[in-house]
């Protein structure tokens, strides 16, 4: 295959997209509100990609992603990634992030220290914020240095990060849940 292929597939939270090359997965798109918006986002990020049947490595990734979004651990550790064009430091961050197990989290500071780049937590946050490999590189498991789940997020925003952590049963203390964000409590009515 020359170039990039893509596929859109069903999950427990909507239609996701995945893009690949001969070298591996190039990117994952979490669902937008409507499938057409997911496809539009894929086209904006990967205009050269053509819709086609995924190869075995990508089918395995799709199954793992769908399992994760159903609330089941999915094994994505052996999925090949095409990191062409990804800066060296970001590659190191993504490789480390792939070792964070289901139900666990790390802060940017902890990752920087593990990479022997203490003081580079801002650089870790920047890499996480640009992660094109959503779920395969589980950036939702990486929290801000203060442990908050709502300060740094890759494509999809902080609600997606909170939702993914909720699916895994892992929210940091003090983080807002989806209910806090989507269903704010109305102000109390005045007593008459």
HEC letters along 57-75: HHHHHHHHHHHHHCCCCCC
Q: Quick one: which of 134, 132, 99, 104 has its CA closest to 114?
A: 99
The larger pLDDT score, comparing residue 148 to residue 47, is at 47
**Parallel, antiparallel, or unpaired: how do β-strands 5-11 and 14-21 relate?**
antiparallel
pLDDT tens digits, 47-77: 999 999 999 999 999 999 999 988 888 889 8
For tokens 């064009």, what's the residue?
Answer: 85
For residues 191 and 116, what is the distance between their CA atoms, to the nearest angstrom?
Answer: 58
Assess whether pLDDT exceeds 90 at residue 86: yes
Grade residue 149 by pLDDT with cuts at 50, 70 and 90. Answer: low
Alpha-carbon distances of 52 from 9, 15, 20, 122, rounded to whole Å: 12, 16, 10, 38
In this predicted structure, the answer to whether residue 158 has a pLDDT above a threshold of 60 is: no
Identify the band that residue 183 occupies on the pLDDT scale cut at 50, 70 and 90. Answer: very low
Catalytic residues: 139
Inform me whether the pLDDT recorded for 145 exceeds 80: no
Query: Is 18:58 a contact under the CB 8 Å cutoff?
Result: yes
Q: Per-residue pLDDT for 40 more than 90?
A: yes
Q: What is the pLDDT of residue 161?
A: 77
Share above pLDDT 90 across residues of the chain, in percent, rounded to a whole number:
60
Q: What is the pLDDT of residues 133-144, one digit of tens each?
A: 999 999 999 988
The pLDDT value recorded for residue 167 is 83
């Amino acid at each position: 295959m020359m170039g990039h292929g893509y596929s859109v597939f069903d999950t427990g939270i909507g239609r996701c997209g995945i893009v690949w090359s001969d070298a591996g997965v190039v990117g994952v798109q979490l669902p937008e509100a409507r499938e057409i918006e997911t496809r539009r986002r894929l086209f904006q990020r990967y205009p050269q990609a053509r819709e086609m049947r995924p190869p075995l490595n990508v089918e395995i990734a799709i199954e793992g992603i769908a399992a994760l979004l159903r609330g089941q651990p999915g094994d994505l550790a052996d999925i090949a990634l095409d990191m062409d064009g990804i800066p060296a430091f970001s590659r190191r961050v993504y490789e480390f992030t792939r070792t964070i197990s289901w139900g666990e989290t790390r802060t940017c500071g902890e990752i920087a220290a593990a990479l022997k780049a203490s003081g580079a937590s801002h650089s870790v946050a920047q890499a996480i914020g640009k992660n094109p490999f959503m779920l395969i590189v589980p950036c939702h498991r990486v929290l801000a240095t203060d442990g908050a789940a709502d300060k740094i997020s890759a494509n999809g925003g902080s609600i997606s990060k909170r939702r993914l952590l909720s699916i895994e049963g892992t929210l940091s203390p003090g983080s807002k849940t989806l209910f806090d964000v989507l269903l704010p409590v109305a102000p109390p009515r005045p007593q008459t």
